[in-house]
Structure 1
Amino acid sequence: MELAKSWRRRSPMWKWVLLTVIYSVLVALYVWYTSPNNVPAAYKGTPADPATYFSPQQLKDSETLNPIRNWIFFTSIPWEWLIYLFLLSGGLARYWREMLERLPLVIRFPLFVLLVDIASFVLYLPLQIFSYGLSKHYGITTQPVPGWIRDKLVSFGVGYLTMLAVSAVAFWILSRRGRWWLKLWLISVPFTVFMMYVEPVVIDPLYNKFTTLSDPKLEAKILDLAAKADIPADHVYEVNMSKKTNAINAYVTGIGPSLRIVLWDTTLKQLTEPEILLIMAHEMGHYAMHHLEWSAVGAVGSSLVVICIGGWIYIWSIRRWGEAWGIRSRSDVTALPLLLLIMAVLSIASLPISNAVSRNAESSADAYAMKLLNSSEGEVSMQQKTGVITLSDVNPPLLVRWFRDDHPSDMERIIAAMDFAKSHGQQPGS
């Protein structure tokens, strides 16, 4: 009862909820009226035009599905912010701290972090369920509900342990004197590199089964291609994704000895050999052009910017609202939702830059692959197949490109392949 009174007395939540509703309506109008699969006149009727490779029903489904996908993404942004504001302004964070205060620090701190993580997980779950159901309805996701729940629980466990470790170090440093922001950044450097190292060998196998490529002849061709690119690869890894999705993909991850070139089994089943070799050459391009190393450097550099800007906002916010939220000092664990809120806001603010960098790297890897093979054979058909399977928007609107797309659009990649073929005297639509 006291908690409810406290919430009514101090909470401006209704204002934030109202703003979120208005924002969601405006987003819905934007994503609906920025037509999916809008094709410039110059490319009408070419292989870049989805009308030439989508069936009428697939085209209709794509034009229905993509506005909903984009609405979910943009709505999830203030949704997450509202969760953290609710924990702060509603008094829950303060209440949990006071409830656990008599316990030893080694018990109360992990419990407090757990309560925050559980609340965030549960309150964010409706959007995730909606997204899963949508993907399932259109045949993109094939994963049964129990498997989906298992993955979410694994993700929760990994996320909780990571949050516990990071927040424990962060609040300990915040309790010390001196340049705490510099100390935080210096500690974040080895942590960032460590996480990039362990992800492919420790975290990824928690979700999926990885094996060496099931087709020895294809693996030999891929390894020959790797040798041509001066990449010391011994294996190509295959991951069992067919139980979860119909989508096709391949990727490169990890650094140093943990580096992995991974091919989804759905890719093996649905693409031809030239298409697969192009994908593998693309991933080798990331390695050859040191994109992973640059990614690590970028993560370390951006963390300094985030800590400096976020730290200033954090201290200012505590001075402005700390008393109302029950935050007694900058190292008070009650401020954990505030830290999460600031990180979430800065993460979204940085997306246009990080996505632009990523798109540039992906375009470079595409060009590298075609140059390595001296052919764009299969590139157009591969992009078309990918678009059909995922019912993608081949030419997304501006805000979607800025905030969602870390790869070039299907249309851009098809046009680049057509241009390469034309400049090399090859069939542009192959």
Structure 2
Amino acid sequence: MPARTRFKKRWLLLLLVYAMAAAAYVWYTSPNNVPAAYKGTPADPATYFTPQQLQDSETLNPIRNWIFFTSVPWEWLIYLLMLSAGWAKSWRYALGGLPLILRFPLFVLLVDVVSFVLYLPLQIFSYALSKSYGITTQPVPGWIRDKLVAFGIGYLTMLAVSAVAFWILSRRGRWWLKLWLISVPFTVFMMYVEPVVIDPLYNKFTTLSDPQLERKILDLAAKADIPADHVYEADMSKKTNAINAYVTGIGPSLRIVLWDTTLKQLTEPEILHIMAHEMGHYVMHHLEWSAVGAVGSSLAVICVGGGIYVWSLRRWGEAWGIRGRSDVTALPLLLLIMAVLSFVSLPASNAVSRNAESSADAYAMWLLNSAEGSVSMQQKTGVITLSDVNPPLLVRWFRDDHPSDMERIVAAMKFAQARGQKAD
């Protein structure tokens, strides 16, 4: 049996075993289990989910979690196939007669297209699942358009980053340090342009349709010393029933954004609470700390990933047809290393994010001097998305970047109790 065939069968078998183990874990760690102390309280989903919603949540969440845990090694396998099955090497040979200005973009395009197509079935499954439960409302043509837009943005980003990376790898000296130094302004630039350039490619943004509510939100922003002149409304009802709001951008690109689904489904106290939460991120400089964290983590990834990259080239480079560290054939290897390190770092990054979200919750209640709307807002969000109010451990570690619904409701109840208020 050829070595490549043995490789494919071995890794596909491992993926199958892993997928079965992941299915067993997510299925038998039952959703919506809450401690006995919270049974019958507003933190208990049985008090605000209907029996059918509870059943749907208990069916949907294991599937969601299984898709997440299965999609990770599936992405790794795609990159491994490009290397070990000889796809990357054959693409390089096929494009060898073209000038570099065409050869390099076409090679990157091939890598991106193949990975996009092979990953697409899981995305289709996830979309169909969400649509069947009434969470996603976006028609198929709109969903396809968004995927194509995301592909185009991803390709251009990958092309620019990989061109710079391979050029630096072809130089002598401390290439890892040069890569990191270049990544710093790129990270800040992307944070700046996302609200004003990238986000409008997906959604329509207008000033808030309710002038009185906008005035109250801006007054709240002024109380929090946030320099905002407008609140923007995102037209999301054509895509989802979920609710959301956020503060994003830096400097002149700062945006306070409220989804129109939030306006339609939440009361004014609930909206003010969710907006105060987002303002908390701004006031506590979570956006800036996020940029600092991204810059610091990129240094760690480049150092650790660079070592793995050099070692992998020595170990398998010849077998994979990679002629040196600056050979474009190694692009799938770089993507594989980045994907693995990103997954491994999720428990730490998610823990930091959950802490920031808890701090923003506490700030919102402090700013409003009330927990009014907090509990009911979390309950409505949970019902709309059929969330698991108390996810199992591995899901929390690797998937959840926000506190659980149960934790947030309990925190609001404690805040209200300490002030002799009623939590709703």
Shared fold (TM-score greater than 0.5)? yes
Whether 1:147 and 2:139 are equivalent positions in the alignment is no
Structure 1 residue 5: deviation in Å? 6.8
Whether 1:156 and 2:151 are equivalent positions in the alignment is yes
SS at match of 2:319: helix
1:161-194 Cα offsets, whole Å, 9 max, x none, are 0000000000000000000000000000000110
**RMSD over aligned Cα atoms:** 1.0
User: Structure 1 runs of 4+ off > 3 angstroms?
Assistant: 4-8
Whether 1:35 and 2:30 are equivalent positions in the alignment is yes
Equivalent residue runs for 1:218-367 within 5 Å = 218-367=213-362
SS at match of 2:318: helix
| One of 68, 93, 96 as aligned partner of 1:98 | 93
Counterpart of 1:110 in structure 2 is 105
Whether 1:206 and 2:201 are equivalent positions in the alignment is yes
How far apart, in 2, do the equivalents of 1:261 and 1:316 lie?
46
Whether 1:182 and 2:177 are equivalent positions in the alignment is yes
How far apart, in 2, do the equivalents of 1:38 and 1:255 lie?
40
The aligned amino acid for 1:143 is Q
SS at match of 1:323: coil
Q: Assess if the C-alpha contact under 8 Å between 1:13 and 1:85 holds in 2.
A: no
How far apart, in 1, do the equivalents of 2:191 and 2:73 lie?
28
Question: Gapped runs of 5+ residues in structure 1?
Answer: none
Whether 1:76 and 2:71 are equivalent positions in the alignment is yes
How far apart, in 2, do the equivalents of 1:112 and 1:69 lie?
33
Q: Assess if the C-alpha contact under 8 Å between 1:37 and 1:394 holds in 2.
A: yes
SS at match of 1:96: helix
How far apart, in 2, do the equivalents of 1:320 and 1:253 lie?
43
1:82-130 Cα offsets, whole Å, 9 max, x none, are 0000100010000000000110000000000000000000000000000
The aligned amino acid for 1:155 is A
Structure 1 residue 393: deviation in Å? 0.1
| One of 405, 420, 423 as aligned partner of 1:425 | 420
SS at match of 1:261: strand
How far apart, in 1, do the equivalents of 2:248 and 2:392 lie?
29
The aligned amino acid for 2:312 is S
Q: Assess if the C-alpha contact under 8 Å between 1:6 and 1:91 holds in 2.
A: no
Counterpart of 2:383 in structure 1 is 388
Give the number of aligned pairs: 424
How far apart, in 1, do the equivalents of 2:256 and 2:297 lie?
26
How far apart, in 2, do the equivalents of 1:220 and 1:392 lie?
32
| Percent of paired sites with the same residue | 84
| One of 12, 19, 23 as aligned partner of 2:7 | 12
Question: Gapped runs of 5+ residues in structure 2?
Answer: none
How far apart, in 2, do the equivalents of 1:83 and 1:259 lie?
38
SS at match of 2:206: strand
Structure 1 residue 232: deviation in Å? 1.1
Counterpart of 1:172 in structure 2 is 167
